[in-house]
Structure 1
Amino acid sequence: MRQIVPDLDVSSLLESVAYPAILLSDEYEILAWNQKYLDSFGELSEGQNCYQVSHGYDRPCDQAGESCPLQACRESKAKERVLHIHNTPRGREHIDVEMLPLKNRSGQPSYFIEILKPVTIASAETNGEQMVGRSPAFNDMLELIQLVAPRKTSVLLLGESGTGKELAAKAIHDASPNANQSMITVECAGLTETLFESELFGHVKGAFTGASQNKPGLLEAAGGGTLFLDEIGDVPMGMQVKLLRLLETGTYRAVGSTQLKRADFRLVSATNKDLPAMIARGEFREDLYYRINAFPIVLPPLRDRSGDMALLSQSLLDKLAGKASYRLTKEAVMRLESEHFPGNIRELRNVLERGMIFARSNILDLSVLERSLKNHASLGDIAKNEGDELSTWTDLKTQQRRYLHRLLQHCHGDKQMAADIAGISARSLYRKLEGE
C-alpha cells in the first residue's frame, strides 16, 4: 500500500482498526484500506469513490437524498456517525458508519477515515427471523437501537399494535454486551396484581394457597440479561408501586419472603397505549413513566415504511412457508402497498397466510390477494357493518364483548388469530370474552 499522507503510516493506522476501514480524500476518493475491509467487502481499486462502491451512486450521498457522513464531518471537524445501507458481496446490508477527520496543521480536515461496522440485528434482504427493512423510517428506528443497545439505559418501545415491538426488544438485547445472557419476556396484559408479582418476583412455599414449593421469579431468570415487559400499560396500579421500587433500588422480595434480593437486568418496556393520557386519568403512575421512558423509540407503522412492503412480505412468506417457496407478483405487491393495515405487520401476516391457502401454485398474484383481502376483516370494517346495531349496545364492555365474539366467529374459532387482529394478547381475549 503506497504512502498517502506525509509523516503518517497509513497501513499501520488502518490495520489497527478493529473493523473494516478505508482512507478517503476530501473529494470522496478511496486512497487506502485495511485487510478487514477486503475480507468483508471485496477487492478495491485506487481512485474509486466511496459513494460508487458503497451505493452505486454517481454523486455523493447528500446529493442523492441520503445523509453523507464525510460532508457532515467536513463541516463539524469532528467524528460523525450514520446508519447506511451498503452494497456487499452478500447483498445489501445495514452498516453503522463512523467518519473520523484527519486534520492538517491549520486544523482543517484533509483526509477522512471511514470505519464500517456491520449491523447484525436487522436485515436489508429477506429474513424470516430478524427485523427487515430499508425505508428511511425503519433506518431511523434501527439507528436509535444501535445507539442505545450498548448501554443499560431503560428503553420504552412505542407504536401501534403489530409494528414488531418484541422483535425490536430482541434486537436491543442481541446488540447489547449481555447478549449471551437470557432475555425474559413478561406479557403484562391480563395478569392480576398477585399473579404479576408472583411471576416477576417469585414466591416461597406457603406464600399463598397452592404455593407448595419455592418458585424463583422471572427477575432471577433474567440473570444479568434483559427483562422485556410487553404491554406495560396494563400493569395493575398496585403493582406499579412495587415495580417502581424495583427500578429505584434494584432490590425486591419474593412473595411471602422477608429476604431482600438484588436484581441485575436491563429493562425494555413496550406499549401501544397513550401513557401520558393514562397518567392524566390516574391509570398510570407518572414517576414510573419517567423511570421506564429514559430512551423512547417509536416503531413506525407499516403505512410509513414506504418501499418496505415487498421485502417484508417475502420475509413473512418465507417464514410461513417453511421448506416451500412462495412469491408475490409485482401487481400483488402494489395492491398490498395500497391497503391500509391498522394491525400493521401482524395483520399483513394474516393476509399473506390466507393468500397461501387460496393460491393454486406457489405464486400469489393479484387475484389471490384480492380474495385474501376480501376475506379480511379489520376493526373499521366490522364497525361499519354493525352501524345499525350501535343503538342496541348498552355499554362499552358489552359492545367490546359482542365485537370479539363476531371477530372470533370470523376467524372460525381461532383465538390467536382473533387476538392478533384485535391487537391484544390471547390472555386478554379470554378475559374480555368472559366479561371480567
Structure 2
Amino acid sequence: MRFPEDFLHYVWQFRSFDFNELKTTTNEDLKILKPGLLNKNAGPDFSHAKIKIGETLWAGNVEIHLKSSDWLKHNHQIDLSYENVILHVVFENDAIIKRIDGTILPVLELKNRIPDALIEKYASLFLTLTDFPCSAQIRNVDGFIVNSFLSRTLLERFEVKTNAVLENLNELNGNWDETFYRFIARNFGFKVNALPFELFSKAISQNIYAKHKDNAFQIEALVFGTAGFLSGQFEEEYPQKLQGEFKYLRKKYKIKPLEVSIWKFMRMRPQNFPTIRLAQFAALIVKANHLFSKVMTIKDTLSLRSLFENLPVNEYWKTHYHFKKEAQPVTTQIGKTSIDNILLNTVALFLFAYGKHTDTQFYISRAIKLLENLPAEKNAITDKFVEAGLKIDNAFASQGILQLKKQYCDQKKCLSCGIGIKILKQA
C-alpha cells in the first residue's frame, strides 16, 4: 500500500516501528534519544531531536520522506534551512543524499520495520467508504479520549467563528452592539434566509430602532419596509398603515429598501416564512433593544432563553403568512429548537469572542457552560456518529463533532486526530 508522508510522521513521532538493532543504511549503530517536535510550518519535519550515531551524539532536525530521492525532488539540497538535518528517515532508501557541504546524510530506512498490523489499521481508516473513517472503530475508543479531542475541536470551531466576529467588529469600529445585531439578524434567517437577513441588518442600523423603542408600530414599519415588503398595493388596513409610516421614516433616515425578491419562501413551512421571522425579529427589538448588553449580564440559560420567549408579535400575524391574504392560524412565537439555535450560534459565540478579544476567561467559561446546558444538535452528521456508537449529550459535543467531521474526517486527517491516533495505537 502507498501512503502519505503523514503516516511516516506518525510512525516516527510515536515510535511505532521495530527498534531492535537500529542501524543507518551505512551500517552504523543508531539510537533515538528524542524523536523531536513535529513542525507544521516550513522547514524540516521534526526539530530538537537527539540521536546517537556510532559514538557521536547529535542534536538537530529530522526530515522524513517516502523515498530518499524526494530530498532532491523537493530541492532540499540547495536549501540552507536543511543543513542542520541530522537524520533522514525514509520508507525506502533509493538514493545517496549529500548536504550542501558534501557530507553524506545519515539515513534510517523503515521499509521492513513498520508492523503489518499498523499498516492494515491505517488502510482500514483511509480506504473506508463510510461517512467517516473510524465509523467501525470509534465505539471502542475510551470516552475520555473522545471527549478530550471534541473539546479541542469545539475550541477550534469557535476560534474560526470568532475571527468572523472580529472582522465585523473591526468594520464597525469596535461596536459590539451593532456587530451582535448583525449576527443575530443573520441567525434569524437560519439557513435559507440567512443572507437576506444579513443584508437587511446592514441596510438599517439598530440605533434607528432605539429612537423608536417606545413605538412598536414604527419599529414594525422600519423592519418590513427596509426588508422590501411594503411596496405595491395592499387591501388590508395593517399593511396600508405600515406602508404610510415607512414612507415618512424612509425619507427621514434615508433608508434604501431591499428587493423583496431576495427572500425565499419555497419549500418552507409557513411558520418559517421570512415574513413571520421578520415579525418575530421586530418583536424582539421591541422587547429588548441593544440585546448584546443584556446577554453579557445574564448568567443562566433559562434567563437567556426567556429573552426570545413570549415576544410581542403583532396580532396580525396570527392569521397571516404574508401581507396578501388571511390564512389559517399559525404560531407566532419562536420554537424551542430555534431559540436553542440562536443561543448556540450567536449568544455563545459572542460570549466566547468577547472573552477572547478582551482576554477575559469569565466570558469564555460562560460560553462553554451555555453550550453544555444546550441540547445536542440533531442533524445528518451527528446522527451518523450516534449510529456509530458515540454518545452526544449536549451542544458542546455536537459542535465538536461538526468540526471533527469537517476538518479531520472529510480531509482524512486521522493522523492529526486524537481519536485516529488512539485507534492506530491499538494496532
Report which of the two has the higher share of helix. Answer: 2
Does the TM-score normalized on the shorter chain lie above 0.5?
no
Q: TM-score, normalised by structure 2?
A: 0.25
Higher-Rg structure is: 2
Q: TM-score, normalised by structure 1?
A: 0.24
Higher RCO, Cα 8 Å, sep 6+: 2
Report which of the two has the higher share of strand. Answer: 1
